[in-house]
Amino acid sequence: MATMIKEAGIYLPEMPKTGFDDPFGEASGAGLIFGATGGVMEAALRTVYELVTGREVPFKNLNIEPCRGFDGIKQASVKLENCVNEYSFLEGIDLKFLVAHGTANAKKVMQMLKRGELNDVHFVEIMACPGGCLGGGGQPIPTSAEIRRKRAQAIYEEEASLPIRKSHENPYVKYIYQKFLTEGPCGKLSHKLLHTHYTKRGRFIS
């Protein structure tokens, strides 16, 4: 490698300084907390509340505590008040949400949905792994409830230190919507590329 560099006439000490390649961009704090149960919900609520009301979520340091913790199924709500004109039709609504983790709890939530017990819930987050991705199969072993709690604590501490903690303030996200998904999050192209649809396939192995 050194010989090739010399043959190309490249003298590294005289080369201008440049930044490192960044093929994957950078995540906001909202992206980081996806690793814990309730993280997707918390990230979404930070953005939704601010877009609808023009204000940050009414929780200290943006930490939406009702989304956090290791209870199998959690339900809470946040009231939308003094909405901006564009979303005035949402004025006074209690935005109800539910967070669940673990397949046993996922089954319970699905049964509740089928029975119509959650018809007033606007947003449901389910993570199959205990505690969320931090308790998933790709994580170091062994694991335990205590280890999962410590992983969650580390995620939240790291997230709190980041300069960008809202999904809609991530410069990479903003760039994509400005240059490519120009119709916005609800546009046809966004819906085509960013929304997942599921089809029942039956069993692959008999």
State the Cα–Cα distance between residues 91 and 47, nearest whole angstrom.
17
Q: Name which of 73, 56, 63, 72 is nearest 33 in CA terms.
A: 63
This prediction's pTM: 0.82
For strands 123-127 and 73-79, give the pairing. unpaired
Q: Name which of 128, 117, 34, 32 is nearest 72 in CA terms.
A: 128
The number of C-alpha atoms within 13 Å of 24 and in the hemisphere containing its C-beta is 3
pLDDT of res. 205:
60
State the Cα–Cα distance between residues 186 and 140, nearest whole angstrom.
38
The mean per-residue pLDDT over the stretch 171-198 comes to 90
pLDDT of res. 24:
76
pLDDT in tens, 27-79: 899 999 999 999 999 999 999 999 999 999 999 999 999 999 999 999 999 99
> Residue 201 — pLDDT band, cuts 50, 70, 90?
confident
Q: Would you state the structure tokens that stand for residue 110, as one six-digit string?
A: 């699905």
pLDDT of res. 150:
96
Neighbour-count burial of 30, counting CB atoms closer than 10 A to its CB (0-12 exposed, 13-18 middle, 19+ buried) = buried
pLDDT of res. 78:
95
State the Cα–Cα distance between residues 197 and 110, nearest whole angstrom.
17
State the Cα–Cα distance between residues 118 and 124, nearest whole angstrom.
9
> Residue 177 — pLDDT band, cuts 50, 70, 90?
very high
pLDDT in tens, 102-152: 999 999 999 999 999 999 999 999 999 999 999 998 898 888 999 999 999
Q: Which fold has domain 26-171?
A: Fe-only Hydrogenase (Larger Subunit); Chain L, domain 3 (3.40.950)
